[in-house]
Structure 1
Amino acid sequence: MTTTGRRALLRAGAAAGAAALVGCTSSEGGEAPRKPSAAELEAERAARAEAALRLRSVTAARSLLERYDTTLAAHPALAPRLTPLRRSVAAHAKALGEGGTAVKPVTTSPSPSVSASASASMAPAPVPAPADPRAALKELAAAERQAADRHTNALLTAPPEYARLLASVAAAGAAHAYLLTEGAPA
């Protein structure tokens, strides 16, 4: 992330903090509601963008976790090999979701917030695992690579701390893909 991007993020955060300290004015006596400042609107936009990014990242991780579960259900003999990787993916999904995926708007106009429950209802049905264990491992490795690529692509728009987390999760996904295909025999 460029210095200019960090400065803009810091300005937006400072403006949101200042707005929280000042508080809202009451609309007693027929006064019009206070219009949010440009800084407040920018802070809200940045928060919404980050919440959407977090939601996409968590959704990718949870989808991968479901792939592990379907593969383990279809091939219990692979449990010693897959269980540690599945545990790691579960930890990644939890870490990617920390910090929240919902945003409370500062504007006076109603707008829907991004929530994890909304995306869960739109999630596609789990993909069944292939009958052949080697094919199942190959498909799981492909799913790991795909999730790692999504996390890597998200780095471009992520705030610095979240970008570091995404980079770590993407690297772990690449390592998992290697372990599933090249690292050990089936």
Structure 2
Amino acid sequence: AALRARSAATGRTLLGRYDAVLAAHPSLADRLAPLRASVAAHVKALGEGVAPPAAGPTPSAAPPASGTPAPSPTPVAVPADPAAALTGLAAAERATADTHTATLVSAPPEYARLLASVAAAGAAHAYLLTEGGRA
């Protein structure tokens, strides 16, 4: 469960990066929407069976028993130049793919196959964000 939670958190960080780039550069929406949707699906698959992190108390929810609030996401700095933003997003995809690949060693076989698929998709996304846009 801890491995799934860490892998899903890594994917959520990448998803937040997509959201930040889309917010800063709405003109990239057509290009990024399919990749973002894929990342969202990966996050869901990686975290199946793990409770998502609390986004903060809801009106009907009690505060966490430990008294520690959930960490808030770190704001992502997005370059003003769309090409630079895409380059940064590609680097985030590669870093996420590398993290998933490194996790394979300690993952059970079935989950390792999922991580390998997600890592391969991340490498393809990085290509599409950089070289793929020039084709």
The structure whose Rg is larger is 1
Counterpart amino acid of residue 38 in structure 2? S
Hey, what does 2:36 align to over in structure 1? 86
- CA RMSD in angstroms comes to 1.7
Work out the number of aligned pairs and report it.
121
Hey, what does 2:117 align to over in structure 1? 168
Question: How many angstroms does 1:128 deviate by?
Answer: 2.1
1:179 aligns with 2:128: yes
> Structure 2 CA distance, aligned partners of 1:135 and 1:151?
24
After superposition, what is the alpha-carbon deviation per residue over 1:49-68, rounded to whole angstroms, capped at 9, x for unaligned?
Answer: xx111111001100000000
- Alignment TM-score, normalising by the size of structure 1: 0.62
User: Which stretches in structure 2 are left out of the alignment for 5+ residues?
Assistant: 55-63
Q: Which has the higher contact order (CA 8 A, sep 6+)?
A: 2
1:158 aligns with 2:95: no
User: SS of 2:105's equivalent?
Assistant: coil
- Alignment TM-score, normalising by the size of structure 2: 0.84
Q: Percent identity?
A: 68
1:116 aligns with 2:53: yes
> Structure 1 CA distance, aligned partners of 2:25 and 2:129?
14
User: Which stretches in structure 1 are left out of the alignment for 5+ residues?
Assistant: 1-50, 102-114
Hey, what does 1:67 align to over in structure 2? 17
Question: How many angstroms does 1:124 deviate by?
Answer: 4.1
Counterpart amino acid of residue 174 in structure 1? A
Question: How many angstroms does 1:129 deviate by?
Answer: 1.1
